[in-house]
Chain A
Amino acid sequence: MSGRRLQTGGLVDRTKELRFTFNGKTMTGYAGDTVASALIANGVDIVARSFKYHRPRGFFGAGCEDPSAMLAVRDQYGFDAAIRAAEVYLTEGMDVRTSRGFPSAAFDLGVLIQPFARFIKAGFYYKTFKWPNWRWFEPVIKRTTGFGDIDPTASPRPAERVHARCGVLVIGGGAAGLSAADTLIDAGHDVLIVDEGRSLGGAALWSGQRMDDKDAAAWINARVERISGADNIRVLTDTVVTGAYEGNFFTLLQSISDDGGVRLLRHIKLKAEKVILATGAVERPLVFPGNDLPGVMLASAACRYIGQFGVAPMSCLAVFVNNDAGYRSAIAAHRAGIDVAAVIDVRDTPAQTLLDEMSAIRVPVMTGLEVAAAIGERHVRAVDVRPLAGGRTVRVACDGLAVSGGETPLVHLAAHRGMKPVYDPESASFVPSNLPDGWVGAGAVTGPLKLDEAVRSGDAAARLVVGEEDPTQAKSANPYNIQPHWRATTGDPAKMFVDHQHDVTVADIELAAREGYVSVEHLKRYTTLGMGTDQGRTSNINGLAILAGLTGREIVDVGTTTFRPPYTAVPMAAIAGNRVKTFYRAARYLPAHETHENAGAVFEDVGWMRPDWYRMNGEDREAAVATEMAAVRSAVGLFDGSPLGKIEVAGPDARAFVDRFYVSNIMTLKPGRIRYSVMLHEDGVIFDDGVVTCVDDNLFIVGPSSGNADTVAAWLERWRQTEWPGMRVAVAPVTSNWASIAIAGPKAREVLAALDPDFSISGDVFSHMSYRQGRIAGFDGRVSRVSFTGELQYEVNVPARHGKTLLTRLLNITQPMGGRLVGLEAWLRLRLEKGYLHVGADTNGRTTPLDIGMGGVAAKKPGDFIGKRSLALSYAQSENREQLVGLTVKAGALRVGGRILMDEVATPPCPTAGYVTSACYSPSLGYYVGLALIENGANRMGETIKIFDRGQVLAAEICRPGPFDPDNERLMA
């Protein structure tokens, strides 16, 4: 417990105190704090446990680079099971908990694993648990790994998705990005500047750097003010550019907050004409034994905690560097009143100016040395320092160690586009090579540089973007005089942590190199180096440099792993946006929805909200379905078929046009007549069935199945536009213009007559498969005599707005006759008794008309139709195709999905000859009936076959589909 709030300083709002809890304990912070800085201010130093060894983890970084401080956070709007504390701003009432460590991160029983750490090396799981079966071990391993537990009761954070575009996208609102945007004000370009921080400014606001010997913060604030006032510049803060894609497309994640937390996640898809990449760099740590102890942190993180948040993470600081930049942390700490024990510099002769600066604040500088080990159990309490050349070890007491091993430019976004970063040995950093078209780099992303250089490079980038000459300017090759020091020269490599989140040590890299995993991509996968939620921002470069050293290669030859989007974690909720629950798909209601509701309908969402069955007299579903079926067979049933597709095809060429889509001949269809047929894709496979109505020679109504109404309309329209634009025809989907009620049963004609049609409905005039239009029930209506149930059936269509009136009137007419409403389930079972197929259930992605007994119809059709030619291909003609047949089962229950066995003696597992596609009990027949796709089934009528279904074998007889009323006497009545 060594952290505390400083009396003064920082950019937090000290007038606005926020209360939050950490593992149930109440604490306070200020507006502007991150969870990390607030916890430091309250003296918390262990917040998490590492992935493999359960080692204590504190605050190593102060931003998105931090690998360790994973916490569960709940604010007013949502819950995140494992989020990095330095990335979350504190809000009033926030509930913060450790997400790992049992019973708590500070006291973790999992720590007992540490003595066995030697055995949990790279590839441990692969090697150990492959015998006899990984599945034996998986449940136990899963309990001890992973970060955090999902709260299934937590509602997802509100999210939305938007599309946007801009002229120039400036990624990064630090000194370079601000300088670029500032230059672009006058050029008048449409600029969007994006920064992941809560405000623009970046590191210059807290790093203590000076700009041409002036205070950097004042310069930054002036630029921010100018930019905020410019009409042509939009500013997006709290926004991360998470991915870069072809054509200068980007994905952005914006977190919109108020006092209660992140109230909205906005996932933005953005297209930019030009891009200025000003993402900056993050600091790399140095690698030595014990470098993962809480209290060890990046020098830049120490500066940021002090400078931005006004907290002191330690009371006595030691600094360990291989370059000039790390000295800033000594100065920042000194100014904040923190003791600085020493600066330990691996270089023999740091610049005199640095030594003078340190001597002015009385900080001893120890040169030509390295930290041999950080000492401490749960927190660093000293460091052992040893001359690089060898010699006596000296112990320096401290409770905080700032490390600075150089800078790593954040080149990720350019790398998403395939740019390969190249190693620059001078500055010991991977810098972008050729950027994508339209991109210019600015600031530290192009390589380490001083603040004033960053400002100049931002200005230069802006000028390049607006088309001015390349104002190439000299940039120092090695501004911070880095001397690479990739790892401690001696000491236990198993204690030198490279990846703090996944516990990858130098020993693991050595093992990988020894076992031949010398490609950097293999190293990553074998050791999981850099595969954590921090994506190895602090570990990748150290890891590959150490690998280069171990394998005697140059760093430039080892290269980096592939960078892939996203740059930071993107919640799935943000990607889904508001297309969830009721917004996932527009709900569609029947015109007479309320009438169904009042009749006890149990709805099912099948694209439309349709009654599945009607709850009456306390019946359950099975009983109700049986009653509904009985009503249709014995009296009359009413079924709402409004979703059934209705597409009007009009024009002089309407007949010829429709004829090209159906297997049946439409050229001979007379006005007032209806024909059933199927529609194929060009490969000959059935994709829809339905009826076609010829109203007159210039108007046809194509009636696809309910689920395909939109698809078929789009299909007709596509052919009309792209293949046959010369045809004089118009296609109009009118499905939802009409309410359609089917009247089915022996009393259907009596019911229809009661609707007072102004046309004759006698059976000899208005025969099966005919169509009439005229006044009915007082409306202009359309009536089709078609049947899906095998009974005498009429479909009455009236304008949708009269649907409720029509259904109410029909209910009044039918109730005294013993009629009732029929739901979808009863309807489908009635058609199954009759053996009518249901496309998609009784056909699959290979079924052609030849397989459902329509070969004769197809052969007789003189003209072409879509898919016809494919029916002549050998695969469509082959003998062993699955063909649709009927099944009857006199003893036992037939169910969908049962497999047809090849012969009497076949015993599963074995190849099968097809499967049951539909099945139900037929109350009319008194046994189970079904449909099945069976190899060569059309030639096997009357055969008894065996069906294997969930462990049982069942005997069934193959028959023609539809054993009910085979002579269609009821239908034709």
Chain B
Amino acid sequence: MIVIKCPSCHEDRHEEELEYGGEADVVRPTPPDGASDETWTDYLFMRTNTKGVHYEQWCCRAGCGQWFKVARHTVSHEVAEVIRYEDRFAYQKEGGE
């Protein structure tokens, strides 16, 4: 059972109110045409399957509908960090995307 405080509507959401979106930071090769078959199939299918702290995507489906990034311990379900996508992209902008 997982509870995450949505970083956008600031409510605790139980897992039934949330949608899981798999591992976060899986980078889509750009342009896809330039990616080798191996790079592309790795993007499609290969995941880290982490035992421990795992960065993953969640959506506040029953609430505000916003996607965000969560650092969750896959054994204890402890949520160490919740990151708004806007913050992530703001950071990238500063870093000179």
Residues of A in contact with B (beta carbons under 8 Å apart): 163, 245-247, 249, 269, 271, 682-683, 714, 717-718, 721-723, 725-726, 864, 868-870, 872-874
A269 CA to B12 CA in the complex, in Å? Answer: 14
The answer to whether B57 and A683 have CB atoms under 8 Å apart is no
Least CB distance from A115 to B in Å reads: 52
Asked whether A271 and B66 contact (CB < 8 A) given A246-B75, A870-B44, the answer is no
The answer to whether A269 and B14 have CB atoms under 8 Å apart is yes
The answer to whether A721 and B14 have CB atoms under 8 Å apart is no
Minimum-distance CB pairs A-B, first 6: A869-B32, A249-B1, A247-B77, A721-B67, A246-B77, A722-B67
Least CB distance from A482 to B in Å reads: 37
Contact string against A for B residues 1-44, beta-carbon threshold 8 Å, 1 for contact and 0 otherwise:
11100000000001000010100000011011101010011011
Asked whether A247 and B2 contact (CB < 8 A) given A163-B14, A726-B89, A870-B44, the answer is yes
Q: Does B94 make an interface contact (CB < 8 A)?
A: no
Least CB distance from B10 to A in Å reads: 16
A571 CA to B43 CA in the complex, in Å? Answer: 43
Contact string against A for B residues 33-76, beta-carbon threshold 8 Å, 1 for contact and 0 otherwise:
10101001101100000000000010100000111000000011
Indicate the member of A249, A722, A869 with the most B CB atoms within 10 Å.
A869
Interfacial chain B residues near A163, Cβ < 8 Å: 14
The answer to whether A869 and B59 have CB atoms under 8 Å apart is no
The total of chain B residues at the interface (CB under 8 A) is 29
A247's partner among B1, B31, B40 (CB-CB below 8 A) is: B1
Asked whether A682 and B67 contact (CB < 8 A) given A246-B77, A722-B85, A726-B89, the answer is no
Interfacial chain A residues near B33, Cβ < 8 Å: 864, 868-869
The answer to whether B40 and A869 have CB atoms under 8 Å apart is yes
The answer to whether B65 and A717 have CB atoms under 8 Å apart is yes
Interfacial chain B residues near A723, Cβ < 8 Å: 28
A874 CA to B36 CA in the complex, in Å? Answer: 12
Interfacial chain A residues near B77, Cβ < 8 Å: 246-247, 249
The answer to whether A869 and B35 have CB atoms under 8 Å apart is yes
Interfacial chain B residues near A725, Cβ < 8 Å: 85-86, 89
A413 CA to B63 CA in the complex, in Å? Answer: 33
Show 21 A/B contacts (Cβ-Cβ < 8 Å), sorted by A: A163-B14, A245-B1, A246-B75, A246-B76, A247-B77, A269-B1, A271-B3, A682-B28, A683-B44, A718-B21, A718-B67, A722-B57, A722-B67, A722-B85, A864-B33, A868-B33, A869-B29, A869-B32, A869-B40, A873-B41, A874-B37
Task: State the main secondary structure of chain A at its contact with B.
Answer: mixed
Q: Does B81 make an interface contact (CB < 8 A)?
A: no
A246 CA to B32 CA in the complex, in Å? Answer: 40
A247 CA to B2 CA in the complex, in Å? Answer: 8
What 4 new A-B contacts, CB under 8 Å, besides A271-B3, A718-B21?
A247-B78, A249-B77, A271-B1, A864-B32
A269 CA to B43 CA in the complex, in Å? Answer: 36
Interfacial chain A residues near B35, Cβ < 8 Å: 869
Residues of B in contact with A (beta carbons under 8 Å apart): 1-3, 14, 19, 21, 28-29, 31-33, 35, 37, 40-41, 43-44, 57, 59, 65-67, 75-78, 85-86, 89
Interfacial chain A residues near B75, Cβ < 8 Å: 246
The answer to whether A718 and B59 have CB atoms under 8 Å apart is yes
The answer to whether A873 and B37 have CB atoms under 8 Å apart is yes
A673 CA to B27 CA in the complex, in Å? Answer: 35
The answer to whether B31 and A864 have CB atoms under 8 Å apart is yes
A873 CA to B1 CA in the complex, in Å? Answer: 39
Residue of A nearest to B19 (CB): A714
A163 CA to B77 CA in the complex, in Å? Answer: 17
A870's partner among B19, B31, B40, B65 (CB-CB below 8 A) is: B40
Least CB distance from B57 to A in Å reads: 6
Interfacial chain B residues near A726, Cβ < 8 Å: 89
A726 CA to B86 CA in the complex, in Å? Answer: 10
A722 CA to B19 CA in the complex, in Å? Answer: 14
Least CB distance from B12 to A in Å reads: 8
Interfacial chain A residues near B28, Cβ < 8 Å: 682, 723
Indicate the member of B21, B31, B32, B76 with the most A CB atoms within 10 Å.
B32
Interfacial chain B residues near A721, Cβ < 8 Å: 66-67, 85
Residue of B nearest to A243 (CB): B1
A165 CA to B89 CA in the complex, in Å? Answer: 34
Interfacial chain A residues near B65, Cβ < 8 Å: 717
Interfacial chain B residues near A872, Cβ < 8 Å: 37
Indicate the member of A249, A868, A874 with the most B CB atoms within 10 Å.
A249
The answer to whether A247 and B67 have CB atoms under 8 Å apart is no
A249 CA to B15 CA in the complex, in Å? Answer: 12
Interfacial chain B residues near A722, Cβ < 8 Å: 21, 57, 67, 85
A415 CA to B29 CA in the complex, in Å? Answer: 46
A714 CA to B78 CA in the complex, in Å? Answer: 27
A904 CA to B89 CA in the complex, in Å? Answer: 61
Interfacial chain A residues near B32, Cβ < 8 Å: 864, 868-869
Interfacial chain B residues near A269, Cβ < 8 Å: 1, 14
A186 CA to B75 CA in the complex, in Å? Answer: 35
Interfacial chain B residues near A718, Cβ < 8 Å: 21, 59, 67
Least CB distance from B95 to A in Å reads: 14
A241 CA to B14 CA in the complex, in Å? Answer: 19
Least CB distance from A696 to B in Å reads: 26
Interfacial chain B residues near A717, Cβ < 8 Å: 65
A682 CA to B76 CA in the complex, in Å? Answer: 31
Interfacial chain A residues near B40, Cβ < 8 Å: 869-870, 873
Least CB distance from B7 to A in Å reads: 13
Interfacial chain A residues near B44, Cβ < 8 Å: 682-683, 870
Interfacial chain A residues near B19, Cβ < 8 Å: 714
Least CB distance from B68 to A in Å reads: 9
A829 CA to B53 CA in the complex, in Å? Answer: 52
A163 CA to B66 CA in the complex, in Å? Answer: 22
Interfacial chain B residues near A874, Cβ < 8 Å: 37
A658 CA to B61 CA in the complex, in Å? Answer: 22
Residue of A nearest to B97 (CB): A726
B76's partner among A247, A864, A869 (CB-CB below 8 A) is: A247
Interfacial chain A residues near B14, Cβ < 8 Å: 163, 269
Least CB distance from B4 to A in Å reads: 11
Least CB distance from B28 to A in Å reads: 7
A873 CA to B33 CA in the complex, in Å? Answer: 11
Interfacial chain B residues near A246, Cβ < 8 Å: 1, 75-77
Residue of A nearest to B59 (CB): A718
A722 CA to B67 CA in the complex, in Å? Answer: 7
Interfacial chain A residues near B29, Cβ < 8 Å: 869
Interfacial chain B residues near A873, Cβ < 8 Å: 37, 40-41
Indicate the member of B21, B28, B57 with the most A CB atoms within 10 Å.
B28
Least CB distance from B6 to A in Å reads: 13
A872 CA to B32 CA in the complex, in Å? Answer: 11
Least CB distance from A221 to B in Å reads: 36
Least CB distance from B16 to A in Å reads: 8
Least CB distance from B31 to A in Å reads: 6
A575 CA to B40 CA in the complex, in Å? Answer: 42
A245 CA to B77 CA in the complex, in Å? Answer: 10
Interfacial chain A residues near B31, Cβ < 8 Å: 864
Least CB distance from A282 to B in Å reads: 28
Least CB distance from B91 to A in Å reads: 12
A271 CA to B77 CA in the complex, in Å? Answer: 12
Least CB distance from A93 to B in Å reads: 38
A269 CA to B35 CA in the complex, in Å? Answer: 46
Interfacial chain A residues near B1, Cβ < 8 Å: 245-247, 249, 269, 271
A721 CA to B7 CA in the complex, in Å? Answer: 14
Interfacial chain A residues near B76, Cβ < 8 Å: 246-247
Residue of B nearest to A245 (CB): B1
A870 CA to B39 CA in the complex, in Å? Answer: 11
Least CB distance from A248 to B in Å reads: 9
A864 CA to B29 CA in the complex, in Å? Answer: 12
Least CB distance from B9 to A in Å reads: 14
Residue of B nearest to A683 (CB): B44
A714 CA to B65 CA in the complex, in Å? Answer: 9
Least CB distance from A902 to B in Å reads: 30
A870 CA to B29 CA in the complex, in Å? Answer: 12
A717 CA to B40 CA in the complex, in Å? Answer: 23
Interfacial chain B residues near A869, Cβ < 8 Å: 29, 32-33, 35, 40
